[in-house]
């Protein structure tokens, strides 16, 4: 259940004068904190929660259209009615640490018609001790198991080698020899050459993406494992988002803001094409460059790769959505890559309700 709480006037005054309150773009909200640390938690204890407190300092009622999170493990309760001027409100964040360990970072984005506020949730998760079959539930083949057969690498920067480890477990009764092949010439794989029975070791995957205008977007790759020379039953899939090699600490860097970044089209006739205008703002001090644009399905946009938005400026572009002839509800998106170092990847989400 979503809930709304009002704090006393004194706290509102303190929040307005707090040095932690920072506006982002044209945000109508002032947040007491923009990061929430849930501290050390145990996976076995299950769901944990915390709150972000904010005030509407805009002088007008503001409707929160949506609160998006970077993972399904994180949910947020937020006000569904317009937040009145000077009103103190609460975002209740609930985090499920299932199948996680170590330091975890999750993003929360509060979206209104004219703004986006980016918040961060962190936790340090102590995993529940489990046996090897639960720890490595996915069967690769030849007695080899892994935590999954599909992994997300995250951002892979052009012009720089980046590596991660995928753990393999030998559930068989003898030592095996492992080799691997990659579907991508820019993805190198180093296996544990020999893996004893009942032991686990890391397979190192390394992306080395050349600098090129064609090397932006999502790379979906396949790793084929061979156990004692025999091809494993299931390939391991790995996806990476190819971006620029950017400095997250650059205070003068470009900063992208899109309005609206989420919208719903209601009562659209099946097969009809509807146009929606979206504005890209650059709130930073260096030019914002659109590196990659990929619409989904029957969506077309006038925004193209190579468009540059000057510091403090904005650019308006069209999105054209053709409502499906069969489904009553459809979801689509426009996927963007930019040179914003804090958030190089962005999706504009569109829901269409047909009649």
Tell me the pLDDT tens digit for each residue of 172-204: 999 999 999 999 999 999 998 899 999 999 999
- Percent of the chain scoring above 90 in pLDDT: 75
Region 66-88: mean pLDDT is 92
pTM of the model: 0.66
Region 320-335: mean pLDDT is 88
> What digits encode the pLDDT tens for the residues 130-175?
788 888 999 999 999 999 999 999 999 999 999 999 999 999 999 9
pLDDT confidence of 211, banded at 50, 70, 90? very high
**Residue indicated by tokens 């340090």:** 124
**Mean pLDDT score of the chain, rounded to an integer?**
90
Q: Which pLDDT value is given to residue 263?
A: 87
pLDDT exceeds cutoff 90 at 248: no
Q: Which pLDDT value is given to residue 3?
A: 39
Q: Which pLDDT value is given to residue 9?
A: 40
Q: Which pLDDT value is given to residue 330?
A: 87
- Percent of the chain scoring above 70 in pLDDT: 93
Q: Which pLDDT value is given to residue 182?
A: 97
Complete domains list, the chain, with CATH: 9-126 (2.60.40.10), 132-243 (2.60.40.10), 256-354 (2.60.40.10)
**Residue indicated by tokens 């009622």:** 61
CA dist 67 and 49 (Å) reads 16
């Amino acid at each position: 259940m979503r809930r709304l709480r009002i704090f006393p006037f004194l706290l509102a005054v303190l929040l307005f004068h707090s040095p932690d309150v920072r506006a982002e773009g044209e945000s109508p909200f002032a947040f007491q904190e923009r990061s929430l640390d849930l501290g050390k938690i145990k996976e076995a204890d299950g769901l944990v929660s915390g709150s972000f407190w904010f005030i509407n300092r805009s002088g007008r009622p503001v409707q929160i259209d949506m609160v998006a999170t970077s993972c399904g493990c994180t949910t947020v309760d937020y006000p569904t009615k317009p937040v009145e001027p000077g009103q103190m409100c609460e975002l209740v964040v609930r985090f499920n640490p299932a199948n996680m360990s170590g330091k975890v970072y999750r993003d929360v984005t509060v979206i209104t018609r004219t703004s986006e506020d980016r918040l961060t949730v962190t936790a340090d998760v102590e995993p529940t001790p489990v046996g090897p079959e639960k720890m490595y539930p996915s069967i690769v083949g030849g007695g080899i198991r892994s935590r999954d057969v599909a992994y997300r690498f995250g951002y892979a920067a052009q012009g720089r080698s980046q590596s991660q480890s995928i753990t393999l477990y030998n559930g068989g009764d003898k030592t095996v020899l492992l080799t691997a092949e990659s579907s991508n010439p820019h993805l190198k794989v180093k296996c544990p050459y020999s893996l004893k029975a009942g032991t686990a070791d890391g397979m190192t995957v390394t992306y080395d993406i050349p600098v090129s205008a064609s090397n932006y977007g999502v790379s979906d790759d396949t790793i084929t494992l061979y156990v004692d020379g025999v091809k494993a039953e299931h390939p391991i899939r790995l996806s990476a988002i190819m971006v620029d090699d950017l400095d997250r600490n650059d205070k003068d860097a470009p900063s992208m803001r899109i309005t609206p970044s989420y919208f719903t089209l209601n009562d659209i006739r099946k097969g009809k094409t509807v146009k929606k205008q979206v504005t890209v703002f650059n709130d930073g001090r260096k030019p914002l460059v659109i590196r990659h644009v990929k619409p989904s399905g029957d969506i077309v946009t006038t925004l193209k790769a190579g468009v540059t938005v000057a510091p403090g400026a904005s650019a308006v572009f069209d999105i054209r959505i053709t409502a499906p002839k069969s489904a009553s509800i459809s979801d689509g998106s426009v996927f963007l890559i930019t040179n914003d170092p804090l958030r190089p990847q962005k999706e504009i989400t569109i829901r269409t309700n047909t009649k």
